[in-house]
Amino acid sequence: MQTLLLNNDDVHENANMTELVPAIEEAFAAFERGDAQMPPKSYIDLPQYNGDFRSMPAYMDAGDWDAAGIKWVNVHPDNEEQFDLPTVMGTMVYSSPETAFPLALMDGTELTMKRTGAAAAVATDHLAIEDASSLGIIGAGVQSYTQLEAIATVRDIQEVIVSDLDEERVARFIDTFEDEFDVRAGSIEEAASCDVLSTVTPVEDPIVSRDAVGDHTHINAMGADAEGKHELADEVLLDAKLVIDDHEQTTHSGEINVPYNEGVLSDDDIHAAIGEIVVGDEEGRTDEDGISVFDSTGLAIQDVAAAHIVYEHARENDNGYEFDLLGLSGRDD
């Protein structure tokens, strides 16, 4: 058997959002049903390098298919300036649950962007108004692209307003999508008034006020991934139908981590986990709902579900590079 090496381009080409979004939904459902194993994300802190490593293993059984793997990912904020390297890099090891054979090694950075967008799309499908046609995005970095790509598969997005302090990033985003959408630069307030809002920034002081948010806006809070990060004003969270991906992760490092640990928010303010809504145990959007918020920290089950889609299509499309990682081809049986 051969292990498949899949680079950034291979992952991008084989992570079709129309299939990835349902796979991520299956992951949320499997987690809620108890058909998944996902040990807590572990951290190796490296203050001497101003960085850290994170390991994210998981197994999930979707019924028709199952998947297992582990993502090894870093956050080194000084990388770009000092070493001309990305701040975040990831490697995904995708293994056969039956034999443990390493089926693929793939770029985990592109995989993370794709599955993060898909997770927002799942939440949007369950929590946004049915006729949502406008999308606001605050933060025009790499994550913003997959937010639009994924959410456009579950709602008929016509208008896109992107807000970022970096005008060059906004210009690149507009250039990428102007042939497909009515996309323009705008203020935070303009973006927040859209039917759907995705926030993908690393800020620690909230930038989205309660007054800025539309009466029925659904918000995907995607930026917070560490203690202290916080994009939405507490009043937004308190007024919203609040949905999380995982209680332990969101209270530790998600959008709600600051107000939760300060006692501003409690478990009584959390409506449900997204998996509870996916399997039908809790309601998504109802006619009575105003603002809704999905607090996403990113789960390892999303990575293995996304890796499954990428691997299967890469095999079908003859993408990637096969190599004998374990030296089995020349083994004398």
Residue 122 lies in a domain: yes
Which residues are within 8 A (CB) of 259 and not within 5 positions of it... i.e. 6 or more apart? 230, 234, 237, 265
Query: Is the per-residue pLDDT at 191 higher than 60?
Result: yes
* Domain extent for 73: 1-109+299-321
285 and 304 housed in the same domain? no
Residue 326 lies in a domain: no
59 and 144 housed in the same domain? no
Q: Is 249 annotated among the ligand-binding residues? A: no
120/295 Cα distance (integer angstroms) = 9
180 and 223 housed in the same domain? yes
281 and 306 housed in the same domain? no
Note the pLDDT of residue 228: 87
Residue 257 lies in a domain: yes
Angstrom CA distances, 121 to 61, 116, 147, 149, 222, stand at: 21, 9, 8, 9, 12
Note the pLDDT of residue 35: 98
Q: Is 214 annotated among the ligand-binding residues? A: no
Q: Where are the alpha helices (DSSP H) in the chain?
A: 8-14, 17-33, 79-83, 108-127, 142-151, 167-177, 188-192, 234-239, 247-253, 257-261, 274-278, 300-317
151 and 25 housed in the same domain? no
pTM of the model: 0.94
- For 137, counting Cβ atoms within 10 Å of its Cβ (0-12 exposed, 13-18 middle, 19+ buried), the class is buried
246 and 303 housed in the same domain? no
Domain count, the chain: 2
The mean pLDDT of 52-69, rounded to a whole number, is 97
Residue 132 lies in a domain: yes
Residue 207 lies in a domain: yes
Residue 180 lies in a domain: yes
Q: Is 229 annotated among the ligand-binding residues? A: yes
**pLDDT tens-digit profile of 4-60?**
999 999 999 999 999 999 999 999 999 999 999 999 888 999 999 999 999 999 999
183 and 264 housed in the same domain? yes
Q: Is 142 annotated among the ligand-binding residues? A: yes
Q: Is 296 annotated among the ligand-binding residues? A: yes
Residue 329 lies in a domain: no
Instruction: Report the CATH number at residue 55.
Output: 3.30.1780.10
The mean pLDDT of 198-206, rounded to a whole number, is 94
Which residues are within 8 A (CB) of 321 and not within 5 positions of it... i.e. 6 or more apart? 4, 5
Query: Is the per-residue pLDDT at 200 higher than 80?
Result: yes
Angstrom CA distances, 177 to 162, 167, 286, stand at: 11, 16, 31
Question: How confident is residue 149, by pLDDT bands cut at 50, 70 and 90?
Answer: very high
Q: Is 41 annotated among the ligand-binding residues? A: no
**pLDDT tens-digit profile of 231-282?**
999 999 999 999 999 999 999 989 999 999 999 999 999 999 999 999 999 9
- Per the model's pLDDT, the better-predicted residue between 190 and 87 turns out to be 190
158 and 287 housed in the same domain? yes
CA 260, 266, 267, 273 dihedral sign is negative
Whether 71 is a known active-site residue: answer yes
Query: Is the per-residue pLDDT at 333 higher than 70?
Result: no
**pLDDT tens-digit profile of 88-112?**
899 999 999 999 999 999 999 999 9
Note the pLDDT of residue 330: 67
Name the active-site residue from 41, 71, 114, 241. 71
Residue 333 lies in a domain: no
137 and 104 housed in the same domain? no
261 and 220 housed in the same domain? yes
315 and 236 housed in the same domain? no
The mean pLDDT of 296-317, rounded to a whole number, is 97
55 and 124 housed in the same domain? no
9/110 Cα distance (integer angstroms) = 8
Instruction: Report the CATH number at residue 255.
Output: 3.40.50.720
